[in-house]
Amino acid sequence: MEKPVIGFIGVGLMGHGMAKNILKGGYDLVVMGHRNRTPVESLLGMGASEAATPKDMAGRCDIIHLCLPNSTLVEATIRGPDGILAGARDGLIVIDTTTADPTSTMALAEEMAGREVHMVDAPLGRTPKEAEEGMLDAMVGASDEHFAVVQPVIDCWAGSVNHLGPVGSGHKMKLIMNFMGMSYAAIYSEALSMAVKSGLSPQTVRDVMGPSRMGCGFFDTFMAYAVGRDPNAHKFTIENASKDVRYVANMATAAGVMNLMGAAVKNYFGQAEAVGKGGDYVPTMADHIAALNGVDLAEAVKRGESG
Q: Which of 142, 72, 125, 68 is nearest to 98 (CA)?
A: 68
Whole-angstrom distance, CA of residue 126 vs CA of residue 69: 16
Helices (H), the chain: 15-24, 37-45, 54-58, 71-79, 84-87, 102-113, 128-133, 144-157, 169-197, 202-209, 217-226, 238-255, 260-272, 285-292, 297-306
Whole-angstrom distance, CA of residue 220 vs CA of residue 298: 17
Q: Are 116 and 94 in contact (CB under 8 A)?
A: no
Q: Which of 79, 164, 90, 181 is nearest to 120 (CA)?
A: 164
Assess whether 243 carries a catalytic annotation: no
Whole-angstrom distance, CA of residue 233 vs CA of residue 206: 15
Catalytic residue among 174, 243, 266, 277: 174
Whole-angstrom distance, CA of residue 190 vs CA of residue 195: 9
How would you classify the pairing of strands 63-66 and 93-96?
A: parallel
How would you classify the pairing of strands 49-51 and 63-66?
A: unpaired
Taking CA atoms, 28 is separated from 50, 76, 157, 206, 230, in Å, by 11, 25, 15, 46, 37
Q: Are 217 and 230 in contact (CB under 8 A)?
A: no
**Which residues are known catalytic residues?**
174
